[in-house]
Structure 1
Amino acid sequence: MFTEKTTPQPLDATRIPAHVAIIMDGNGRWAKKRFLPRIAGHKQGMENVKVITKAASRLGVKVLTLYAFSTENWKRPDSEVNYLMGLPVDFFGVFMPELIAENVRVQVMGELDALPAKTRQAAEDAMAETAANTGMVLNFALNYGARDELVQATREIAQAAAAGTLDPATIDDTTVAAHLMTRHLGALADPDLLIRTSGENRLSNFLLWQIAYSELVFTPVFWPDFTPAVLTAAIADYQARDRRFGGIH
């Protein structure tokens, strides 16, 4: 498996995954390895979001979904949670001109109403300020959990059926997808490639419906060390695979 020392690899420009999702993991361990506080890892990790956003955009990725904060992350110490909640404010405040210059459009999905007011406002402002951009969608999953998403979708569908506006017999994959938090991504809602950093080989309640046919890549590289070269290597790995979607080629 490729590491942070991986050299850039040639790619087939016609087979770039349209939607790449990344579980950005390992910030705390990156910091611990350097005898730094965990928040130093989170700060460096957020800096790396800028680098990878540009790299993905320039490779031709159409949607980059980043798992920034899960519904389970509230269990962490208050000091760490408070720091994490301030990162989007700083990130969008500093990076917005570059996002606009890159023609990147920001989307944020998750339980935004439960976020601190400043964090929620920063997310809403970023979406508004980049709404006219036509390039890659930078889609943050913030206070997001896939089980919560599926429960909410089920509740909405049940309410529509109870109200008589939806015939239960007509419920299908499309119905469910239309009630998920990724519905704003339309035909690009399902990732082609899911990457998890830090060496952990699990999904951690991320996009459980949407990744049914995604290609999965797990790398030992901690997120702050995840370079454009490692991203390119992951995409090269993806391009070497035969995606059959349950069929036979």
Structure 2
Amino acid sequence: MAPADVHVPRHVAIIMDGNGRWARARGLPRAAGHRQGAEAVRRTVRAAGDLGIRYLTLFGFSSENWKRPETEVADLMGLLRHYLRAEIAELHANHVRLRVIGDRDRLARDIRVLIENAEATTRENDALNLTVALSYGGRQEIVAAVRRIADEVRAGRLAPEAIDEAAFARRLDTHDLPDPDLLVRTSGEQRISNFMLWQCAYTEFHFTPTLWPDFGEAHLGEAIRDFGSRDRRFGAVAPQAR
């Protein structure tokens, strides 16, 4: 657990970046970086539970990542299959609920089945809510929500005047998740790369130069301490400044 004087964010989202650079710096193929990145996922999930984080969302594979070389995509899908087969028992034993957001239609059928089984197995768990974004893009998610609303309005199930922020949010992939309090990006890059664009309107950002394969509990703790130093006003004026 985190120290009593540290304010732990309820929901942490992480853009896992730097696998390729980690491998290149060691003269290894990119696949080796992705394998080490999978180890970092295991460490971070355990650390999140130990630190008292309730929701953890990991950006695993973006809608733009499909443009990568076929061999690299195949390696990533192979790692995903391995994770879904090998890690679910441990997640379940630790009362972690797993869910996946993103465009599943682009994933192979066997992967979709593994995801469905993993979600069903862990559905009742409540220690940590782990969400993995796969084949996911924030803009695509927003467009899909707009289409859902348009379909409902056209069918007469939704009045235009009933459309507000809450109604829109209910039609996003993350409709049953709180917005992230903290977004962490590894590798030194300082952008959010089409990740949770709607949900991160008031999220605090923490950028670390650490490459994802090297990320672990100490780095997550550093991000949480940084978060605890922020003055979150959500557009209001601090009481002492009024």
Q: Are 1:48 and 2:40 an aligned pair?
A: yes
- Find the aligned partners of 1:120 and 1:23 in 2 and give their Cα distance: 22
Q: Which gives a bigger RCO, structure 1 or 2 (Cα 8 Å, sep 6+)?
A: 1
Could you say which residue in structure 1 is the equivalent of 2:68?
76
Structure 1 alignment gaps of length 5 or more = 1-8
Partner in structure 2 of residue 32 of structure 1: 24
Aligned positions of 1:161-240 closer than 5 A = 161-185=153-177, 188=178, 190-240=179-229
Match of 1:12 among 5, 8, 28: 5
How many residues are matched?
A: 237
> What secondary structure is seen at the aligned counterpart in 1 of 2:66?
helix
Q: Amino acid of the residue matched to residue 80 of structure 1? A: E
* 1:130 alignment partner AA: T
Task: Tell me what 2:97 maps to.
Answer: 105
Q: Percent identity?
A: 52
Within-5 A mapping of 1:150-165: 150-165=142-157
Q: Does 2:234 correspond to 1:245?
A: yes
**Amino acid paired to 2:5:** D
In structure 1, distance between residues paired with 2:235 and 2:174: 23
State the partner residue of 1:3: none
C-alpha distance in 1 between matches for 2:5 and 2:29: 40
**Cα deviations by residue, 1:128-185 (Å, 9 ceiling, x for unpaired):** 1111212111100000000000000001101111111111112110011000000132
The one of 44, 48, 57 equivalent to 1:65 is: 57
Measured in 2, the distance between the counterparts of 1:133 and 1:124 equals 15
Please give the TM-score of this superposition, normalised by the length of structure 2: 0.95
Which amino acid is the alignment partner of residue 215 of structure 1?
Answer: E
| Structure 2: distance between partners of 1:48 and 1:106 | 17
Q: Distance in 2 between matches of 1:119 and 1:86?
A: 9
- Length-normalised TM-score, structure 1: 0.92
Q: Distance in 2 between matches of 1:96 and 1:170?
A: 40
Distance 1:150 1:96 in 2: 30
Q: 1:11: Cα distance to partner? A: 5.9
Matched with 2:138 is 146
Determine if contact 1:191/1:214 at 8 Å carries over to the other structure: yes
1:11–1:232 contact (8 Å) kept in structure 2: no
Cα RMSD after superposing both structures: 1.2
- 1:34-69: CA deviation from partner (whole Å, max 9, x where unpaired): 100001000110111011001001111111000000
Task: Please say if residues 107 and 127 of structure 1, whose CA atoms lie closer than 8 Å, have aligned partners that are also in contact.
Answer: yes
